[in-house]
Structure 1
Amino acid sequence: MKALRVEKFYAFWGQDLDTSTTPLECGRSWRVKFDKGINFIGRDALLRQREEGIKRIYVQLLLNDHDPDIELWSWGGEPIYRNKKYVGATTTTSYGFTFKKQVCLGFVQNIDNLGNTHPVTNEYVMAGEYEVEIAGIRYPAKVNINSPNLPTKYPDKERESYFATRDKMVSEPLLRH
């Protein structure tokens, strides 16, 4: 089950997400009802974060050039590099049987040379070249910010049924199913 959830980019409370993670950082802001006029705890902080931009974002990384039969596997907590510069760490990892490669989930940041964090955008994430370091060896990785399309028996039904990782993928007609 863990391998399947990592492949589908499903976050796990206590391992990927905790009390310091906001819905905006992990792509679940569509679950927050800002437009209902209800003043819930943390609403002002989320609105401020939405306006100023998030400082970290939840991503999925598919390791390339990693041979799972002979090389060490990641366990979580491995450094993530963007354009050769440290930007975050993995939270959960697993072998992806559908992808036939190691899959890592984690958070990345936009950190300047002075160590200051800046807002992270989807464009920033997708424009970089990523690596994940396992036991001192850096492996190139393809980054995803959306759930990947996995092979399925019923593609028209299953691919439209659950969009857990990004706001732009949810549409009103799908929510009525």
Structure 2
Amino acid sequence: MSVGYANGIRVMSITHTGEPGFMLYIPIEYALHVYNEVMNMGQKYGIRNAGYYALRSLRIEKFFAFWGQDLDAFTTPMECGREFQVKLDKGMQFVGQEALLEQKQNGVYKRFTMFILEDHDTDTDLWPWWGEPIFRNGRYVGKTTSSAYSYTLERHVCLGFVHHFDEETGEELVVTTDFINQGEYEIDIAGHRFQAKAKLYPFSSFFTHRRRKDEMELSGYQGE
């Protein structure tokens, strides 16, 4: 694509927020020129700048994990709810296939989970950031990896991994869906614990126009 005097721009339909969007890969020498052209042409459409924290808030409330913050080289698709993006029966082997097949059969020892803070006062309480301890039924089960205020839910949302430790031996056990859904959770922010609702799937997306069965539990948060 060409913009103004700049050519060779690659346009990719990639969303980091869960809504329709595009990424522009621009030769560095044209970056400022393309920015000015886009801003000038966009004035009649109400274009305006949006910073990193706007992007962060949108992707967290859509339960989008970020590489390097939520995910690393030791995280598998089975552990972060992205197993649908892996085709295990495509007729050819790939690196890590055996490990994923084993996790699919035997389960995982941590699950990426969304938490909506329920009794947190945005105006008076300290805000979560990342690294806050997660408690299930009063016991430590993990920590948050990222957090942000959700302007859709009007509440703080935290993302993090939940583990399952044996109460007597401390041994790690398989984390099941029932284990996530049947617990009562708290997020510890600077020594104060706040009640939290745990979800393995995001709330309704206007981008996908699809709903999961258990999303109905969140309808009260959306004013529906």
Scaled by the length of structure 2, the TM-score of the pair is 0.67
Runs of 4+ in 1 over 6 A off after TM superposition: none
**Aligned equivalents of 2:208 and 2:175: distance in 1?**
30
**Aligned equivalents of 1:106 and 1:159: distance in 2?**
25
Q: Deviations over 1:108-160 (max 9, x none)?
A: 0111122111111111100000000000000000011011125x4xxxx6323
Which among 208, 212, 219 is matched to residue 158 of structure 1?
208
SS of alignment partner, residue 89 of structure 2: helix
Count of aligned residue pairs for this structure pair: 157
**Aligned equivalents of 1:158 and 1:25: distance in 2?**
23
Q: Which residue of 2 aligns with 1:80?
A: 134
In structure 1, runs of 5+ residues without a counterpart are 164-177
Amino acid aligned to 2:94? F
Amino acid aligned to 2:65? A
Q: Which residue of 2 aligns with 1:121?
A: 176
Q: Which residue of 1 aligns with 2:37?
A: none
Q: Which residue of 2 aligns with 1:147?
A: 202
**Aligned equivalents of 1:158 and 1:49: distance in 2?**
28
Q: Which residue of 2 aligns with 1:171?
A: none
Q: Deviations over 1:39-77 (max 9, x none)?
A: 101111111121111000000000011111111111100
Superposed displacement of residue 5, structure 1: 0.6
Give aligned-pair identity as a percent. 46
Amino acid aligned to 2:183? G
Q: Would you say 1:11 and 2:61 are equivalent positions?
A: no
Which among 52, 55, 68 is matched to residue 109 of structure 2?
55
Higher relative contact order (CA 8 A, sep 6+): 1
Scaled by the length of structure 1, the TM-score of the pair is 0.85
Q: Which residue of 1 aligns with 2:165?
A: 111
Amino acid aligned to 2:102? R
Which among 109, 119, 123 is matched to residue 69 of structure 1?
123
**Aligned equivalents of 1:29 and 1:66: distance in 2?**
32
Superposed displacement of residue 30, structure 1: 1.2
Larger radius of gyration: 2
CA contact (8 A) 2:204 2:210 kept: no
